[in-house]
Structures are given as C-alpha cells and as structure tokens.
C-alpha cells in the first residue's frame, strides 16, 4: 500500500463527463489499496474568465481581492469531484488551501508555499477517505487567501507530495509527457522518457508549458519524482527526476520556445555606474522578474539597456520603467511585444563544446536575426522576431538530431 498524490489539470476537469473519468481513475488507484490525495485545477477556461472579469473592473486590480477572485475556480472543481466520488459510493472530502492549511507568504498572485499542516489529511486518510485539495491556492499567516501564480496547481501537488512523503506524485495533463519540442510545431517530436530537474526547470521556464516552474524547483529541493502523464490514456509519461549518466550522453534534450515575453529598451542612458540597479530595482520591488538583459557599451558614453519581462507583467513594468528612465535621463523607452525566445536545453552541454555556435549557424542559414542571447551551463537562449518561432524550432530540432530518434 502506497500514498499516491495525483493532480488533474483544467482540461482533465473540463466537463462533468471528464470529471467522472477522473473519478474513475482515482478509484482505480484507490481500489488497488492505496491512500489517495488528489489535487485539482479549475475547469479549463475558468481561471481565464475570472482574470478577464478583474480586468474589466480596473486596469490594476487590487492584489488581495484578485486572489480571492481567481482562487474560486478551484473551489468549484474540488466540490464537483468529491460529489462525484461520493455518488459512486466512495468516502471523499474536499479541502480549500486554507482548510488544510497550506501556508504561504503574502505575495498575492505569486505566493510561495512555506508550510503544510498534514494533521487533518493524515486523520482522514486513516479513515479511508479520498482527499481532494484545491490546487493553486493557499493562505498567508494573516488568513488572507493567496494564489501561487498561473499553473500553480502543479506546485500544490508537488508540495503536498513532499509534505506527506508520498510514494508517487503523478501529474495528469492533456499531453503524454514532456516532448523534445512542441509536437504542434514538429510532428516528429518525441516523448522524453526521463528528464532531470535542471533540464525541466529550463524547459518549464522557457515555455514548455507542461509543468509550472515552481513545482519543479520544489520537486528538486525535496527530491520528489514527478510522473507527468496523460489523463486520456494509460501510456507511461515522462519521469522528472535526479540527473543520471544516461542524460549526460545526450547533447541537447529539447528545444523550447516562449512567446510570452516582451522587450523593453531604455535608449541612450548616460553610461555610468548604478544605471542597471536604478532601472531594475524598482521592478524587483514590484515583484516583477526580469529575464534576459542586454546592455551595450557605446563610444560616446551612452548606453542602451534592454530587458524582457513576461507579457503579464508588461504594462506594469513599462509604467515603472518610464519613471526610472526619466530619473536616469534616458532619451526614450522603446518596446516590442512581438518577440519569441527560443532555447536549446541539455545537461550534455556541460561536457561538449560548440553547441551555441551550431545553434547560431543554424539560425543564420535561415536568415533569422538574433536580437538577444543568454546562456547558462545547460541552455542557450536567443530572442528573435516572433514570426520566426516555428521555423527556428524546426531547424534546431533537426540540427540537433532530435527528430525521430529512438525514445
């Protein structure tokens, strides 16, 4: 007998019929003699609708009330799934994040889980009850409802698995697992059997939308193996786990892309110490993370300072940057929302030279201009015009031999 944590995403919970199917899957594992904790997302599209409502009220919705609003989607799905299980003759009980409680910090809309109390859950499990927990939400130490950022139910699931020392953490989604790239772009993309936490972190943060990045950070920290698989079939999925020797043998494991960033360029700033801090500090104070940064050096002691933020943070970041630009006496602030970040990822890069060069040559051959570059030990990312996204992904997938290779 094992303790199994399963998470079902919005698509898997999208209709009553699908919720019935989720219930059947849960029952199958439960009937095999396992304790079950199930984390669910809001029904697909619901969170987007709630966000749109908030934006209809005001351009900058109040942070606390925003979380009260968007957390409500998961309240609906926990109740429906618990009801469904009970109607099928099983003991089930739904929990909001605050009822567990899942304690977070107080950064609304991007809260981090700090602590999970497992007492109630343990007691219920002892009674043979199937526990259904609302993903995406928690509560801060003052009792305010918080949410964990879009896609946050993955993190709720991994955190529950870590807190309960679960034997398995299965994340059920609408894809079979993690692919070498988006199969919608490359029909010959293939499923990766096993991927390391670090590779997955790069791929998740780079826009391979399968898992929320924080869930992988959490899994790495607490050594939780995540099995990503489809709720629509019984195929084995992808294991996200500790790095091993096999993984290093592969040069590039995947090609990721991200159309979800926008570029802000502060033009002609007098080039002196402190500029980067003056531009970036107000953004971090507003909890906006900056991704890629490029600052050039100019001959006439002016510099252009360019960076990217997520599209969700763009409006706020621009307003803040315009203020800082005035302070540092920049000439202008320019923006570009039509960009795409393309990345190659693989732990094999640590021990192989020339990977970046091959990437740049491959893009050059197609006449794709590179606007920004950043690298880490296990990835190389470039920003290009968004219209080249598909082409860039395809040629890189080919160039690094990912197409059609054996799984």
Choose between 210 and 402: whose C-beta lies nearer to ligand ASP. 210
Q: Which stretch binds ligand ASP (CB under 6 A): 148-156, 182-190, 224-232, 347-355?
A: 148-156
Q: Which stretch binds ligand ASP (CB under 6 A): 149-157, 239-247, 318-326, 337-345?
A: 149-157
Asked whether position 42 contacts ligand ASP by CB under 6 A, the answer is yes
Asked whether position 61 contacts Mg ion by CB under 5 A, the answer is no
Phi, psi of 351 (to 5 degrees): -110, 10
DSSP 14-29: SSHHHHHHHHHHHHHH
User: How far is 303 from 145, CA to CA, in rounded Å?
Assistant: 43
DSSP 193: S
User: How far is 113 from 221, CA to CA, in rounded Å?
Assistant: 13
Among 151, 237, 254, 346, binds ligand ASP (CB under 6 A): 151
**Torsion from C-alpha of 200, 170, 76, 90, nearest 10 degrees:** 180
Q: In this structure, are residues 43 and 79 in contact, taking their beta carbons and an 8 Å threshold?
A: no
Shortest Cβ distance from residue 150 to ligand ASP (Å)? 4
Asked whether position 151 contacts Mg ion by CB under 5 A, the answer is yes
Choose between 258 and 304: whose C-beta lies nearer to Mg ion. 258
User: How far is 228 from 178, CA to CA, in rounded Å?
Assistant: 7
Tokens (6 digits) for 306? 């360019």
**Torsion from C-alpha of 193, 19, 183, 244, nearest 10 degrees:** -20
Choose between 73 and 151: whose C-beta lies nearer to Mg ion. 151
Binding mask 76-115 for ligand ASP (x = CB under 6 A): ----------------------------------------
Shortest Cβ distance from residue 97 to ligand ASP (Å)? 12
Listed in sequence order, the residues at least 6 apart from 63 whose beta carbon sits closer than 8 Å to its beta carbon are: 108, 109
User: How far is 23 from 29, CA to CA, in rounded Å?
Assistant: 10
- 42's contact among Mg ion, ligand ASP, none, with CB below 5 to 8 A by partner kind, is ligand ASP
Choose between 73 and 177: whose C-beta lies nearer to ligand ASP. 73
How does 275-288 read in b/e, with b if 16+ C-beta sit within 10 Å? beebbbebbeeeeb
Q: Which stretch binds ligand ASP (CB under 6 A): 26-34, 40-48, 190-198, 394-402?
A: 40-48
Among 73, 97, 177, 237, binds ligand ASP (CB under 6 A): 73
- 136's contact among ligand ASP, Mg ion, none, with CB below 5 to 8 A by partner kind, is ligand ASP
Asked whether position 135 contacts ligand ASP by CB under 6 A, the answer is yes
User: How far is 55 from 407, CA to CA, in rounded Å?
Assistant: 44
Question: Contacts with Mg ion in 2-21 (CB under 5 A)?
Answer: 9
Contact residues toward Mg ion (CB under 5 A) are 9, 151
Contact residues toward ligand ASP (CB under 6 A) are 9-10, 41-42, 47, 73, 135-136, 150-153
């Amino acid at each position: 007998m094992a303790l199994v944590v399963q998470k079902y995403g919005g698509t898997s919970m999208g209709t009553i019929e699908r919720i019935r199917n989720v219930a059947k899957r849960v029952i199958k594992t439960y009937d095999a003699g396992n304790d079950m904790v199930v984390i669910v997302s809001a029904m697909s599209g619901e969170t987007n609708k709630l966000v749109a409502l908030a934006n209809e009220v005001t351009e900058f919705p109040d942070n606390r009330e925003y979380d009260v609003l968007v957390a409500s989607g998961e309240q609906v799905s926990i109740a429906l799934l618990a009801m469904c299980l009970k109607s099928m003759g099983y003991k089930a009980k739904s929990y909001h994040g605050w009822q567990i409680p899942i304690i977070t910090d107080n950064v609304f809309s991007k809260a981090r889980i700090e602590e999970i109390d497992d007492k109630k859950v343990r007691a219920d499990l002892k009674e043979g009850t199937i526990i259904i927990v609302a993903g995406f939400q928690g509560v801060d130490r003052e009792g305010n409802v918080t949410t964990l950022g879009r896609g946050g139910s993955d993190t709720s699931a991994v955190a529950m698995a870590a807190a309960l020392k679960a034997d398995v953490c299965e994340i059920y989604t609408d894809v079979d697992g993690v692919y070498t790239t988006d199969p919608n772009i490359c029909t010959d993309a293939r499923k990766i059997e096993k991927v390391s936490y670090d590779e997955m972190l790069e791929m998740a943060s780079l826009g391979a939308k399968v898992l929320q990045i924080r869930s992988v950070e959490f899994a790495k920290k607490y050594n939780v193996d995540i099995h990503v698989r489809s709720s629509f079939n019984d195929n084995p999925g992808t294991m996200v786990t500790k790095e091993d020797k096999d993984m290093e043998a592969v040069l590039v494991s995947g090609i990721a892309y991200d159309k979800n960033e926008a570029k802000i360029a502060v033009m002609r700033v007098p080039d002196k110490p402190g500029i980067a801090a003056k531009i970036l500090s107000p953004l971090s104070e507003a909890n906006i993370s900056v991704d890629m940064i490029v600052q050039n050096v100019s001959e006439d002691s002016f510099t252009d300072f360019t960076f990217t933020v997520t599209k969700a943070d763009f409006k706020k970041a621009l307003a803040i940057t315009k203020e800082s630009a005035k302070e540092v006496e920049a000439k202008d602030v320019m923006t570009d929302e039509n960009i795409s970040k393309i990345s190659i990822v693989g732990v094999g890069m640590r021990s192989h030279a020339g990977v970046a060069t091959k990437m740049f040559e491959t893009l050059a051959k197609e006449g794709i201009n590179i606007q920004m570059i950043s690298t880490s030990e296990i990835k190389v990312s470039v920003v290009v015009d968004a219209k080249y996204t598909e082409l860039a992904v395809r040629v890189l997938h080919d160039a690094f031999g990912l197409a059609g290779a054996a799984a």
